[in-house]
Amino acid sequence: MEKPKIYTMKFNKVYPLYIQKAEKKGRTKAEVDKIIFWLTGYNENTLQEQLNKDVDFENFFKDAPSINENVSLIKGVVCGIRVENIDDDITQKIRYLDKLIDELARGKSLDKILRK
């Protein structure tokens, strides 16, 4: 079976788009990073290493230090699909990240986005 196209997209090509989306709505790169750290367990240094290594989304999530135990609290629709119903593990993690960035751009508080 062929991998979904999203698997092969380079994380370092999409990352600036996440920041741009957030900044257009008055949010910050620091908030985007905080969401990524919360979701994946990366920190400033390990995220920068991933960006420098030119990894694709599949390996970005496979190499993630620790996916947050509260990801099951992320619910809603991204690209017309409910994130909680996505069967493919990597695709679901990518869509979780998309959903969290959407919530940031829509003005949700960071505490709510990080499911506190």
CB under 8 A, 24+ apart: contacts of 78-81? 78/102
SS3 for 77?
Answer: strand
Question: Which domains occur in the chain, in start order?
Answer: 5-91 (1.10.8.290)
pLDDT in tens, 11-68: 999 999 999 999 999 999 999 999 999 999 999 999 999 999 999 999 999 999 999 9
- This prediction's pTM: 0.94
- Mention every residue, 6+ apart, whose C-beta is less than 8 A from residue 95: 78, 79, 81, 83, 86
SS3 for 108?
Answer: coil
